[in-house]
Amino acid sequence: MRNSSWNDLIALIDGKDPGYLPVGFIIDSPWIPGWYGISKTNYFSSDDLWLKSNLKAINSFPEVWFMPGFWSEYGMCTEPSAFGSRMVFMEDNLPHAEKVLSDIMDTDRLPQPNVKTDGLLPFMINRLRNCECAIRNADHQVRFAVARGPLNIASFLMGTTEFMLSLALNPDSSHKLLKKITDFICDWLSWQKECFPSINGVLVLDDIMGFVGESEFNEFVLPYFKRIFSVTGAKVRFLHNDADGLITAGNLKEMGVNMFNFSFNHPMGLIRELAGPDVVLVGNIPPRDVMASGRPEQVTEAVHKAFSEIDDYGRIIWSVGGGMAPEVKDENIEAFIGAVKGNKWR
């Protein structure tokens, strides 16, 4: 994030008025390569193209907070690669990681990754090191340590259906797997912060938490996320869950989360009621059906609808209910910015 935007985000977290309504989007490999005009493979394999495409995004829309900013990642292969998943990369589709667990009982055979050496993680760190000078020269810094959450990673390692069945049928082994993955995530976030002391934010992405009921949430989600969000002592603790998020929203404070990106299916006012007044909300127009596939006037209409769902515009970053979808065009981003600016907010 731009240094001034980061300072405004800290002010927003603290409940201060930055003097404007911020617009922000989570951007990464689903959107950036196609928007920039390169293949997914080129985006992942070339530090130069990765840097240039991210620089173009921030310079094309200087008013927008792009989060987490210069995200060094390899799509859904990032974390599973450290556990030994076979990674499949394609020119124009997102990569995917093959399963490594056929049974939850095989958890003991799963290696505990070394985050300094294993899988794609060293390449992620090295990309940031190679580009850090250029990032700083653009008036940005590496601000966030990023990881997918333990339930999300578990679903990659053994399959979503298989993992969900394991939660119900074999809770003890499920806890063993979640603890192993959580240990990894804590090591990984801590190593990112050690490599880049400018980091004072954590972004964790996990949609699978939205698939469980309240009792399962309390058992299989809450204790692990409390550890994850406390491990670095970060000021900004950002959670993305654009699946069902009502149970999540009601537990953000206990999880240690102070910034939440949630599904467009949930009205802003309802999430505010559940999350409480101190959480920064990031949302929430439809990312695919409106932001990517809609016309500019439909984007404007959706932004106005989101504004109508809540009375207090404090501690909100106006965004989509999820990450930036593929094929979002410049004119729709401009329409979004204009619609936010056009709303009365004082």
Q: Tens digit of pLDDT for each residue in 105-153?
A: 999 999 999 999 999 999 999 999 999 999 999 999 999 999 999 999 9
Residue 304 in any domain: the answer is: yes
Assigned domain for 328 exists: yes
Report whether pLDDT(268) > 80: yes
Classify residue 218 by burial, with Cβ atoms within 10 Å: 0-12, 13-18, 19+.
middle
Quick one: pLDDT at residue 340? Answer: 97
The CATH number linked to 204 is 3.20.20.210
Average pLDDT rounded to a whole number, residues 234-243: 98
Indicate if the pLDDT at residue 345 is higher than 60.
no
In which domain, by residue range, is 195 found? 3-341
Confidence check: pLDDT of 344 > 70: no
- Is residue 321 assigned to a domain? yes
Asked if residue 318 is part of any domain, the answer here is yes
| pLDDT above 70 as % of the chain | 99
Residue 79 domain flag: yes
| Beta pairing partners, 236 | 201
Residue among 230, 228, 238 nearest 203 (CA): 238
In-domain check, residue 179? yes
346: in domain:
no
Residue 104 class from Cβ within 10 Å (0-12 exposed, 13-18 middle, 19+ buried)?
buried
187 token code pair: 């090591």
Is the pTM here over 0.95, yes or no?
yes
Query: Domain count of the chain?
Result: 1
Residue 158 lies in a domain: yes
Residue-level pLDDT at 343: 82
Spatial strand order in the sheet of 236-241? 144-148, 201-205, 236-241, 259-262, 280-285, 316-320
Tell me the mean pLDDT in the region 249-262.
98
Scanning the structure block, which residue is given the tokens 């390899």?
A: 74
Q: 137 burial class (0-12, 13-18, 19+ CB within 10 angstroms)?
A: exposed
Query: At 281, is the pLDDT very low, low, confident or very high (cuts 50, 70, 90)?
Result: very high
Residue 295 reports pLDDT greater than 70: yes
